[in-house]
Structure 1
Amino acid sequence: MTDKIDLPRRGFLGTAALSLAAAQLGLMQSAHAQSNLPKAAPVPSTTPGTHTSLGPIKQIQAGALNVGYAEAGPADGPVALLLHGWPYDIYSFADVAPLLAARGYRVIMPFLRGFGTTTFLSADTPRNGEPAALAVDAIALLDALKIKTAVVAGYDWGGRTADILAALWPERCRGLVAVSGYLIGSQAAGKQPLPPEAELQWWYQFYFATERGRLGYEKYTHQFAKLIWQLASPKWKFDDATFDRSAAAFDNRDHVAITIHNYRWRMGLAEGEAKYDDIEKRLAVGPTIGVPTITMEGDANGAPHPAPSAYRSKYTGKYEHRDIGGGVGHNLAQEAPAAFAQAVLDVDKWGGK
């Protein structure tokens, strides 16, 4: 698959060296940084896959959902809200969370709607996967947990949600870590055709647009997800146990409906909910983000993503981009946990928190 295609409309948009990381993960290849930005003390070397447990899963009513989430670190620490993507889950952060907790952070890792133990409070609520709904879910969770501000960090669907929070609710975000950069898009942009070689990478989006695709994903959910893992991270040698821990989250009864709606909505093939229309209109203009931000990209990301220069202008505050080497793919937090944790610590330091 082509590693870099400029796809701002479909959602996978997409260094100063960290002293620990070069030896540990072969990580930092380059940076595009403001030279006066401080760095936190380096996190310890951590081999990806070291931690295989997140501890007990908690539940809390937040907005339309009963949200399942894992938590690490002291209850009174500064908060890091870590948001996973599709088709992944909160185990992406199993190695990140201990690194942040050791620095005194309260780490919150929720299952997105349609994943894990997160369920809808009402059977009548539309199983809506549009970006605005996911962002409102995150704000509702912060409110339910009585969290005023957090460093928000994520990748894939979680990266898009983190971008939206930073753009529309900057008062809730002390900083942003966004894998693959600026992921905010719109239905109008999603209808525009791309060159054939670019469209090829979106084969599953076209598949999901059909009833055959919905039925196929419903029947072969785990097999489908494993294929996406392999294509999006071609150099990540995950084992069956690692995949199976996350795959359990796809057994959520709403997972297929949320997934199909998300991709159909992006192409203008499914309606959203009217209550989110104002948010989607604000997002459709491509709002800039002024909170302190670090964007990141793995050198072996097999999912569609642009060069960092394509989204640099969207970040108007303190900013740095980090390229992560060593064969790191789309699931950057799980494949390069030290680099991801370091970015959270560094971006929070910029705000003096």
Structure 2
Amino acid sequence: MSENVNMPRRGFLGAAAAALAAAQLGLSQAARAQGGPAQARALPSVAPAAQAAFAPIKHIHAGVLNVGYAEAGPADGPVALLLHGWPYDIHSFAEVAPRLAARGYRVIVPYLRGYGSTTFLSADTMRNGQPSAIAADMIALMDALHIQDAVVAGFDWGARTADIMAALWPERCRGLVSVSGYLIGSQAAGKQPLPPEAELQWWYQFYFATERGRAGYQKYTHQFARLIWQLASPAWKFDDATFERSAAAFDNPDHVDITVHNYRWRQGLVSGEARFDEIEKRLASAPVIGVPTITMEGDANGAPHPVPSAYASKFAGWYEHRDLRGGIGHNLPQEAPAAFAQAVLDVDGH
């Protein structure tokens, strides 16, 4: 899930676009406008749909991966790149994507390394879960798809990835939507002890540090993920079908290795790849993000996360924070799709 010290660690929809519900949420906004984009026209309310469906998943070679991704909307539209977290998958955006596609966006929703149909091109490639590697994957995907820039939006691992992209490759990020704010961390920060109450929230990180933890996650992957969903979104009453639809993505042969490496790397227990050393040095300085940004937080997020005031200064450009009420948990795009889609539109100035 989302990072350390003061930060949390932790194809496509066609006819369904006109059939999805627009959630009615209480939304409070604290804005620090700096001549940024104008607010978009609100998304219209539409009739509810029982289940959004993906059209066949596409694949493309990008960097070290064969990336599986969903796509919606016109091929020549402005791009929205939507990034999921752990342990979730592309279906977190099943009701976000059609809303954006209906407004003319080309929506790209990739499976991160270790999820779904995304696979490594070589058996010899290190199964590396360090955050900079995942961000580099997304830049490689944009290159392979000939996408110059995009609004990059995500939560959990996806928010951290989007933050890194916006900090290090601002010319590729037209705007940023980040659930739980600024999630860029480092191994040095990850080694700092937290108060006992905070450490308790990271029980799974310590579990993954052991071989028993690796074996347990391998044996009980689906049960483990379901528990995380319940803890991270205690007010979200998802059904079995909703969970199993996403849980299929965890059957990827590299999922356990990527997950365990990610959390061990954060604690400095394992090394990453030398080719990312320079990137990690830059990230360790906690670089300021200058692209237009909206951060978001749900009022029932059960995962560890910082208060917005802890990270507001990390965004130097146009910036706004939005608090969502109504029992919204960690998987914010799936629990509040209309609000998430609206943030993408607003940060892009539509």
More displaced, 33-42 or 172-181?
33-42
1:10–1:295: structure 2 CA closer, same or farther, 3 Å change rule?
Answer: closer
1:79–1:50: structure 2 CA closer, same or farther, 3 Å change rule?
Answer: farther
TM-superposed deviation, 1:54: 1.6
1:339–1:7: structure 2 CA closer, same or farther, 3 Å change rule?
Answer: farther
Amino acid in structure 1 at the alignment position of 2:222 = H
Q: TM-score, normalised by structure 2?
A: 0.93
Q: 2:6 matched to which residue of 1?
A: 8
Contact in 2 for aligned 1:265/1:271 (Cα 8 Å) = yes
Q: 2:238 matched to which residue of 1?
A: 238
Contact in 2 for aligned 1:7/1:304 (Cα 8 Å) = no
The percentage of counterpart residues that share the same residue type is 74
1:6–1:277: structure 2 CA closer, same or farther, 3 Å change rule?
Answer: closer
The runs of 5 or more residues in structure 2 that have no matched partner are 11-21
Q: What is the rounded CA distance, in whole Å, between the counterparts of 1:168 and 1:227 in structure 2? A: 34
- Please list, as runs of the form range in 1=range in 2, the aligned pairs for 1:305-344 lying within 5 A after superposition: 305-344=305-344
Q: 1:18 matched to which residue of 2?
A: none
TM-superposed deviation, 1:30: 3.8
Q: What is the rounded CA distance, in whole Å, between the counterparts of 1:63 and 1:332 in structure 2? A: 29
1:175–1:234: structure 2 CA closer, same or farther, 3 Å change rule?
Answer: same
- Structure 1 runs (4+) greater than 4 angstroms displaced: 46-50
Amino acid in structure 1 at the alignment position of 2:226 = K
Q: 1:269 matched to which residue of 2?
A: 269
Q: What is the rounded CA distance, in whole Å, between the counterparts of 2:46 and 2:210 in structure 1? A: 42
Counting matched residue pairs gives 336
User: Which SS does the other structure have where 1:151 is aligned?
Assistant: strand
| 1:282-315 residue CA offsets vs partner (Å, 9 max, x unmatched) | 0000000000000000000000001100000000
TM-superposed deviation, 1:327: 0.4
Q: 1:193 matched to which residue of 2?
A: 193
- Please list, as runs of the form range in 1=range in 2, the aligned pairs for 1:43-54 lying within 5 A after superposition: 43-45=43-45, 50-54=50-54
1:248–1:6: structure 2 CA closer, same or farther, 3 Å change rule?
Answer: closer
User: Which SS does the other structure have where 2:348 is aligned?
Assistant: helix
Q: 2:346 matched to which residue of 1?
A: 346
Q: What is the rounded CA distance, in whole Å, between the counterparts of 1:77 and 1:259 in structure 2? A: 34
Amino acid in structure 2 at the alignment position of 1:325 = R
TM-superposed deviation, 1:39: 1.2
Amino acid in structure 2 at the alignment position of 1:11 = R
TM-superposed deviation, 1:203: 0.3
Over aligned residues, Cα RMSD in angstroms? 1.7
Q: 2:26 matched to which residue of 1?
A: 27
Contact in 2 for aligned 1:9/1:190 (Cα 8 Å) = no
The answer on 1:77 being equivalent to 2:74 is no
Q: What is the rounded CA distance, in whole Å, between the counterparts of 1:160 and 1:343 in structure 2? A: 17
Q: What is the rounded CA distance, in whole Å, between the counterparts of 1:333 and 1:210 in structure 2? A: 32
Amino acid in structure 1 at the alignment position of 2:27 = M
Q: What is the rounded CA distance, in whole Å, between the counterparts of 1:67 and 1:243 in structure 2? A: 22
- Please list, as runs of the form range in 1=range in 2, the aligned pairs for 1:1-353 lying within 5 A after superposition: 7-9=5-7, 11=9, 24-34=23-33, 38-45=38-45, 50-349=50-349
User: Which SS does the other structure have where 2:135 is aligned?
Assistant: helix
TM-superposed deviation, 1:123: 0.2
Q: What is the rounded CA distance, in whole Å, between the counterparts of 1:320 and 1:254 in structure 2? A: 37
Contact in 1 for aligned 2:332/2:340 (Cα 8 Å) = yes
1:319–1:234: structure 2 CA closer, same or farther, 3 Å change rule?
Answer: same
Q: TM-score, normalised by structure 1?
A: 0.92
The runs of 5 or more residues in structure 1 that have no matched partner are 13-22
1:338–1:50: structure 2 CA closer, same or farther, 3 Å change rule?
Answer: farther
1:35–1:163: structure 2 CA closer, same or farther, 3 Å change rule?
Answer: closer
User: Which SS does the other structure have where 2:151 is aligned?
Assistant: strand
